[in-house]
Structure 1
Amino acid sequence: MNRAYLSLRVHDIVTFSDAELFGRLASHLPFALEPAQRTAWNYQIQHLRELARELPNAHAFMEFLIPRMGRRADLILLINGIVFVIEYKLGAIEFDRSSLDQVYGYGLDLKNFHETSHGLPIVPILVATHAPCHDNLDVQWDGDGLARPLGVNTAGLLPAIHHLRHIWNSPPIDSAAWEAGRYRPTPTIVEAAQALYRGHAVEEISRAEAGAENLTNTADYVANAIEIAKRHKRKIICFVTGVPGSGKTLV
């Protein structure tokens, strides 16, 4: 399964036509292309061309998979050691809470479950294309280097990126190594079922921070307890405890 429908160095975008870029995106869809998706991709391609003139050293990923949520982030840009997670809302005139929570959720997943993102600053940005312009770029950071989501309109995205890249100015990110980093989410039962029904493979969500030996020993112990209960016609209750990410759901 491809992590991103489209991955390319931003300065290479001039070598592709709009039709070629659109075709590469559409070729990954497992279902019919809807008009709304067509409009969204055409808009994002044009905006990425505008960004390319000012950010030639960036690397772009369009439709990047967030396995635990069973969704794809519209755009991820790797620039100056920063991971920008960008979500577009075409025609939106305000920054609604659900959309801000959505893009912040993407950032949380990368920070906590994508191994090559653990130590990097991550900035979630919601682009409400028709929202009023504002100059407030006061970014609030969590202790682990994840920023609280920013809300900008189309014209405000580039100034926000420039502002933050000058603040951090970190070493560049190896885009290939970053993309290949292991994604190890520990979904809840409901999240796992939702992701499966969205068409993703089991191996994309069957990860936990616990090692295989620990999971095997725990599962074997529970299975053995069940067999003993059957044999002696007894009822038992098994309590499986552990810290978040220890593999309780998988057991």
Structure 2
Amino acid sequence: MLNKEEIKSYYTIRELKELSTSEIISNIECFLDEKINCNTFSKGQIISWNKSIDLVKSIFEKDNKNWNIIFEFLIPLSSGKRPDILLINGVTIFLIEVKNKSEYTLADLDQINGYKLDLEYYHSTAKNFEIKPILLLLKANGLKENIGEIVVLSPDNLKPILLENYQNYLMVHPNSLNDGNFKPVPAITEYAKAVFENKEIEHIEKACFLESSQISIDLNNVYNESKAKNEHAIVFLTGTAGSGKSALGLKCAFENNGLYVTKNRQFAENLNDEIGVCSNIKTTHNFITEYSKKEGEPIWDLIVFDEAQRFWNQDKMEKYFGLKSSESRFVLELYEKKEWGVLVVLIGSGQELSWGEYGNFYQWKDAINNANKKWMVYGSNKTKKGIGYSKKIIYFEKNNFDLSHSFRNFKTPSSPVFINKLLDFEGTLDSYYFKSLQKEFNELCDNGFKIIITRNIDSAIDYCEARYQDKPNSYCTLTSSESEINEIRELNFKSNVLYDYKKSSRLGINQYFNNNGLCEDSNGDLIPLTEFSAIGFEMQMPIIVWGVDYIWYKNRWNYEFVRSIVGNTEFRQNTYRILLTRGRDGVILYFPPIWQLDNTFKFFKELGSESI
């Protein structure tokens, strides 16, 4: 075992030539053990290291100071992502991913492209230089193929490519890569953890969603002004799926010692497990149950209500809680017991999921107009139009309180807008509008957001395992609560999908995500989450099991094939909007091979989705 001081993070050509292959492999093992506590390596990994090190050694016949080499470059904050080789020359970083086989898969291409985009978008040093991705197939011969920006090579063609791009100087020092700042967009739980541990997060906010710093300042100003003037204020923060509403709400609650309330019980449990703070995070159900049974006022001067587009009307509140008021009115009346207070209401556009839920502002307008105290109302012009005019409403317009860019998909911020267009589309597949959708989709794919399709669930699992290599929170299965996938007979796949709402809604969600959707007591079956559990969560590439409740038929999206559905087209559309916006790198759509889904599969194939 090497001493800590002896472990090398990069090699010059001289060092590469002087050290034996076994010495370099030993150093790599010590390096990974030291940095990420990784000390178990497969036989295939050792073989790959041997072959790739010997290959690089054979390319350089003599010392050349214009080259440096990094093996197993660690991408920080990425659950162990590490490109196999970085060869550095001039202003170029050759990003080489080595595969001990003769043919490549889509997962191989997407994996190396993902590494490239991570470095280009998030690494403070790498983004300033040219990155050339090379997929090296050790068992191939005479292969050279350009696929977009990726070059797929056999070993005999690596040296010619390097010579073709050689520069007689060295601008990128490997230490600047190893020591460079890597600032990826965090998952919501990682962001929340950073907030509650009071870590430095300005760089995250500035990089990830526009005007976030100003929004936080504005929210804190509303709080301080309400406190100083003994006023009651309600703030409406609206936005598309993944636009950063929850992140801003969590930060606001923490900074002002407030309460964060969410409709999704499993989301609250996941936050509590990750953060270890239970008293400041509750579910809406627990909050209503607690305060409908006691006369006291809330102890919090500020409460953030997440997923407030799912607030219930009076009929639903009466059915489940015995309360003769809408959820909006209940909250306002409760807070009027206090001398002052601030409500921050987070509303996701197009994410109502069931009867009695209303994302429009009618119920809020009704609650404010019937309030016993005067309420200061803050929101965007869009919110102002939704609430409408009333003598009892004192409105302060803040147009930055409507978030339109994706926090989740930083590399493709327009992806939620594209999903909305996709679900709204009606017409033939040769129409001008569909062609514009195809063009927009191709642009998203180029920047790393994909919609991949398959008729074989095993292929979807294989893709995710190959691309993400069992890194936690990379993938799991999702489906609509009305999908009727259990009616589909045994399809003779290794992986069996079993929809069980009671089971999925009671899953230990933290362990579920860490195991990429596998449950210990599921007998090997995949238990997909429904839209009710998935809302608020995110992962790298979820696998959506498409149901017969929302299919492409006669040039429009259709839900009439499922007669038992309670609800309307809007709820079906919102369900698939939520499912399709959970992934950072995109989604895989699994269409079980039944005739009812043939047209929908064809729709996505015509759109430009790659099939596996």
TM-score, normalised to structure 2, is: 0.32
SS of aligned partner of 2:10: strand
The counterpart of 1:89, out of the listed 95, 99, 114, is 99
- Per the alignment, residue 59 of structure 1 pairs with 68
Distance in 2 separating the partners of 1:139 and 1:54: 32
- Per the alignment, residue 58 of structure 2 pairs with 50
Distance in 1 separating the partners of 2:172 and 2:92: 8
Distance in 2 separating the partners of 1:35 and 1:12: 25
Distance in 2 separating the partners of 1:60 and 1:188: 31
Distance in 2 separating the partners of 1:139 and 1:116: 26
The counterpart of 1:12, out of the listed 15, 19, 30, is 15
- Per the alignment, residue 200 of structure 1 pairs with none
Q: Deviations over 1:82-106 (max 9, x none)?
A: 011000101x222322111111111
- Per the alignment, residue 176 of structure 2 pairs with 177
**Identity, % of aligned positions:** 20
Distance in 2 separating the partners of 1:79 and 1:152: 19
The counterpart of 2:112, out of the listed 103, 115, 120, is 103
**Are the equivalent residues in 2 in contact too, given 1:5–1:64 (CA < 8 A)?**
no
Distance in 1 separating the partners of 2:78 and 2:18: 33
What amino acid is the match of 1:25? I
Trace 1:92-241 onto structure 2 (pairs within 5 A): 92-134=101-143, 148-165=149-166, 172-189=171-188, 208=204, 210=206, 214=213, 218=248, 220-223=251-254, 224=256, 226=259, 227-228=300-301, 233=334, 237-238=345-346, 241=403
**Are the equivalent residues in 2 in contact too, given 1:133–1:153 (CA < 8 A)?**
yes
Q: Deviations over 1:18-48 (max 9, x none)?
A: 2221111111332323212211111122112
The structure-2 alpha-carbon separation of the partners of 1:99 and 1:34, relative to structure 1 and needing over 3 Å to count, comes to same
**Are the equivalent residues in 2 in contact too, given 1:123–1:149 (CA < 8 A)?**
yes
The structure-2 alpha-carbon separation of the partners of 1:51 and 1:131, relative to structure 1 and needing over 3 Å to count, comes to same
Deviation at 1:110, TM superposition (A): 0.6
**Are the equivalent residues in 1 in contact too, given 2:89–2:170 (CA < 8 A)?**
no
SS of aligned partner of 2:87: strand
What amino acid is the match of 1:228? D
**Are the equivalent residues in 1 in contact too, given 2:136–2:153 (CA < 8 A)?**
yes
**Are the equivalent residues in 2 in contact too, given 1:7–1:61 (CA < 8 A)?**
yes
Size of the aligned set, in residue pairs, is 223
Deviation at 1:209, TM superposition (A): 5.2
Distance in 2 separating the partners of 1:220 and 1:228: 15
**Are the equivalent residues in 2 in contact too, given 1:86–1:127 (CA < 8 A)?**
yes
Deviation at 1:188, TM superposition (A): 3.3
Deviation at 1:8, TM superposition (A): 1.1
Deviation at 1:134, TM superposition (A): 4.0
Distance in 1 separating the partners of 2:117 and 2:160: 23
Runs of 5+ consecutive residues of structure 2 not aligned to the other structure: 1-6, 192-198, 218-247, 260-299, 304-330, 336-342, 348-400, 411-535, 537-612
The structure-2 alpha-carbon separation of the partners of 1:187 and 1:20, relative to structure 1 and needing over 3 Å to count, comes to same
Distance in 2 separating the partners of 1:238 and 1:108: 31
Distance in 2 separating the partners of 1:161 and 1:182: 27
- Per the alignment, residue 37 of structure 1 pairs with 45
The structure-2 alpha-carbon separation of the partners of 1:189 and 1:10, relative to structure 1 and needing over 3 Å to count, comes to farther
**Are the equivalent residues in 2 in contact too, given 1:186–1:206 (CA < 8 A)?**
no
- Per the alignment, residue 198 of structure 1 pairs with none
SS of aligned partner of 1:109: helix
Runs of 4+ in 1 over 6 A off after TM superposition: none
What amino acid is the match of 1:85? L
Higher mean displacement: 237-246 or 149-158: 237-246
For the aligned residues, what is the CA RMSD?
Answer: 3.8
Distance in 1 separating the partners of 2:68 and 2:164: 18
Distance in 1 separating the partners of 2:45 and 2:216: 43
SS of aligned partner of 2:39: coil
Distance in 2 separating the partners of 1:102 and 1:84: 15
Q: Deviations over 1:160-192 (max 9, x none)?
A: 1222336xx7762223223321111113348x6
Runs of 5+ consecutive residues of structure 1 not aligned to the other structure: 141-147, 194-202
Q: Deviations over 1:140-165 (max 9, x none)?
A: 5xxxxxxx111001111111122233
SS of aligned partner of 1:165: coil
The structure-2 alpha-carbon separation of the partners of 1:5 and 1:43, relative to structure 1 and needing over 3 Å to count, comes to farther
The structure-2 alpha-carbon separation of the partners of 1:155 and 1:67, relative to structure 1 and needing over 3 Å to count, comes to same
SS of aligned partner of 2:120: helix
The structure-2 alpha-carbon separation of the partners of 1:135 and 1:207, relative to structure 1 and needing over 3 Å to count, comes to same
Higher mean displacement: 25-34 or 221-230: 221-230
Q: Structure 1 residue 24 and structure 2 residue 27: aligned?
A: yes
What amino acid is the match of 2:27? R
Q: Deviations over 1:183-220 (max 9, x none)?
A: 11113348x69xxxxxxxxx9x9962528x93975555
Higher mean displacement: 231-240 or 35-44: 231-240
